[in-house]
Every structure is written in C-alpha cells, then in structure tokens.
Amino acid sequence: MKLLLAEDDGPLAAELLKALRAEHFAVDHAVNGEDAWHLGETERYDAVVLDLGLPKRDGISVLRDWRAAGRTLPVLILTARDGWSDKVAGFKAGADDYLVKPFRVEELVIRLRALVRRAQVGGASRIACGPLSYDSGLGSFERDGLPLKLTGLEWRVLTALILRKESVVPRTQLIERVYEGDAEVDSNSVEVIITRLRRKIAPARIESVRGLGWRLHADPAA
C-alpha cells in the first residue's frame, strides 16, 4: 500500500514514517502544501494523510484542488484543530476521515486500512506484473498464485519497483525508501537485495539501468 504523508512537524513525521513503514506501507513524505499537491497530482497513492496547517499551501486548499481535478484518492486529515467548524471545512473540501492530534499511531493505521478497503470495494486492489501479484490492501505478494516469502528489506524494494512497474526507479529514491534516508547506508547493499529478489521472482525481471536505477519487467525478454 502506497501512502503520501503531508506533515511539516519534523519529529511527528519521523515517528509516523517509522511506524507506517514498519506496518509495510510504502510512504512518500511532503513537508509543505506545494509539494503535497504536486505529488498527489503526479503519483499514484492508495491514501493520503494530510495535515491542515502546512506551509506554502494549507491542506484545505490542496484537498480542494485535488477534488476539483477529479482526484478520488482517500484522504485522512491530520490536524491539531478540534473545532467543529474545522471538521466541517475539511469534509466539505473532500476529506474522507479526520484525526485530531494527539492520537495513537495504531488508530491512524486502522483508519487508513479502512479507508483503502472502502475505496477498493468494486475495484481492483491488485497490481500484476507477469507472474507477480501485489495486493496493495494487504501489502502481500504472490508468484504464480502462491505467497512469496520476503524479508522486510526485500519487501520494501519489490514494493517500490512494482508500484512503478516498467518504469525506472532511481537508485537514490530506492535507497531512501528502503533505508528511510539513512545517509550511512552502503548503496551496494541494495545490489545484494536485488540479486536475492531476482532469484525469487523469476521469470519476471529486474533490469539494472546503468547510471539511473532499476526497472521491473513483466516479460523477461522485455
């Protein structure tokens, strides 16, 4: 499941990123409203956690523009504002749910999964790539219809690749998602994970694109 977290509070964002990734969410992070709006326009997300009090552009205006443009992705508003008028404004702008700070991360996870399930009723929650299948609601992989056993790091790499199947995922972006921005990580360790995944997912293919990153193909002859 791929999420967008739009939150400018550094310590809170770090806590949420760690907790959500531990729950096998793939998470992009925006620290201001302009970046959040752009990511929501250009990337595919299963849900968005959107703070109202963002710099540059507030969350309400971001959400209104997404809805005006026909973006139907589920949005959970996260804010310190607990007044009824603020909740009404959020729902009128197109919010699907509302969570007031402070809150328990466990509740956020439950609400996000519920939002995604509701959004997927009558729609496809699976992403197929050759013999591989990824259930974005459950966060699980199958190969030829059988569960695929992956380590946590393998899961993060393969999730990043299948969410952008047939497109190049830049090396720097993949390292950031897998290791949560740890600057001390040796990039060669990602090569090791890629090698292990190639053995597990064949005949699907992970192509190394020289100087750029990696691309997941459905067809090994692609």
Residues whose CB is less than 8 angstroms from the CB of residue 89 and which lie 6 or more positions away in sequence, other chains included: 60
Report if residue 33 sits inside a domain.
yes
Residues whose CB is less than 8 angstroms from the CB of residue 157 and which lie 6 or more positions away in sequence, other chains included: 174, 178, 190, 193, 194, 197
User: What would the pLDDT profile of 3-35 be if each residue is shown by its tens digit?
Assistant: 999 999 999 999 999 989 888 888 999 999 999
Q: At which of 98, 120, 142 does a domain end?
A: 120
- Return the amino acid letter for 61: S
Structure tokens at 20: 């959500």
pLDDT of 81? 65
* Statement to judge: residues 115 and 148 lie in one domain: no
Beta bridge partners of 19: none
Are the CB atoms for 26 and 3 separated by under 8 Å?
yes
142: which DSSP letter? E
Q: At which of 77, 104, 120 does a domain end?
A: 120
* Statement to judge: residues 113 and 132 lie in one domain: no
User: What would the pLDDT profile of 193-215 be if each residue is shown by its tens digit?
Assistant: 999 999 999 877 899 998 899 99
State the sign of the Cα–Cα–Cα–Cα dihedral 82, 83, 84, 86: negative
Report if residue 222 sits inside a domain.
no
* Statement to judge: residues 114 and 60 lie in one domain: yes
| pLDDT surpasses 60 at 155 | yes
Segments forming the whole domain that contains residue 105: 2-120
Residue listed under structure tokens 């190394």 = 208
* Statement to judge: residues 109 and 130 lie in one domain: no
Q: What is the CATH number of the domain that holds 91?
A: 3.40.50.2300
Domain count within the chain: 2
* Statement to judge: residues 17 and 110 lie in one domain: yes
